[in-house]
Amino acid sequence: MNEGLRAHPEIGCCGLECGLCPRYYTDGSSRCPGCGGAEFEQKHPSCGFVTCCVKKHSLEFCGQCGSFPCAKFANETGEKDSFVTHRNVAKNSSWIAEGGLDSLLAEQSARRGVLEKLLGAYDEGRSKSFYCTACALLPLEILTSALEGMNGYTGNEPTKEMRARLESAGFILNIELKLRH
């Protein structure tokens, strides 16, 4: 079994938030192990960021490279998404470049914790992508507040209520909680 190429597969070497992707939380053969995680190369054999950053330069993140940002980031405008939003790729890589790796790892861990609670308590089977996107884009304080606000909720549609709370926060903050293709 492939042990993986990187210590932090939950965050892509490019800054992609792999740990906030629906495929990271999928059971079965379509589950993604995250960037450079165990058996990553069988799922994503030709990732140019991994080839350059990890294999060629032996780095964990592109933001640690002296050539960052390089031409590879020209197309990472955040205007198009895949299974996970790409809107934070440049921001996360810059955060790492400025020496904030530990704080980025801590924030991403907190976001994954919120996501796991949302998926465990408020996913009716059709909200995984929405919650992943919300956890990537909304401020952490808003996410935490939405969860805390559900304590004592007595309605009969908790998933609908949680989605409404997050959608409302996105609307107020002018953050679209949909993937852009």
Residues 40-49, mean pLDDT to the nearest whole number: 80
State percent of the chain over pLDDT 90: 62
Identity (one letter) of the amino acid at 66? G
Q: Is residue 168 within 8 Å of 160, Cβ to Cβ? A: no
Does the residue 92 lie in any domain? Answer: yes
Is 80 exceeded by the pLDDT of residue 44?
A: no
Cα(9)–Cα(24) distance, rounded to whole angstroms? 10
Cα(134)–Cα(159) distance, rounded to whole angstroms? 14
Does the residue 69 lie in any domain? Answer: yes
Identity (one letter) of the amino acid at 171? F
Write down the pLDDT at residue 76: 76
Does the residue 178 lie in any domain? Answer: no
Does the residue 166 lie in any domain? Answer: yes
Residue 23 is encoded by which pair of tokens? Answer: 């495929």
Is 70 exceeded by the pLDDT of residue 1?
A: no
Cα(92)–Cα(61) distance, rounded to whole angstroms? 10
pLDDT tens for residues 86-123?
A: 899 999 999 999 988 999 999 999 999 999 999 999 99
pLDDT tens for residues 121-156?
A: 999 889 999 999 999 999 999 999 999 999 888 888
Residue 176 is encoded by which pair of tokens? Answer: 């679209």
State percent of the chain over pLDDT 70: 98
Domain that includes residue 48, residue range: 18-172
Residue 104 is encoded by which pair of tokens? Answer: 């980025």
Greatest CA separation for the chain: 55
Does the residue 8 lie in any domain? Answer: no
Write down the pLDDT at residue 99: 85
Write down the pLDDT at residue 2: 53
How many structural domains are present in the chain? 1
Q: Is residue 70 within 8 Å of 48, Cβ to Cβ? A: no
Going by pLDDT thresholds of 50, 70 and 90, the confidence category of residue 181 is confident
Q: Is residue 23 within 8 Å of 32, Cβ to Cβ? A: yes
Residues 157-170, mean pLDDT to the nearest whole number: 95
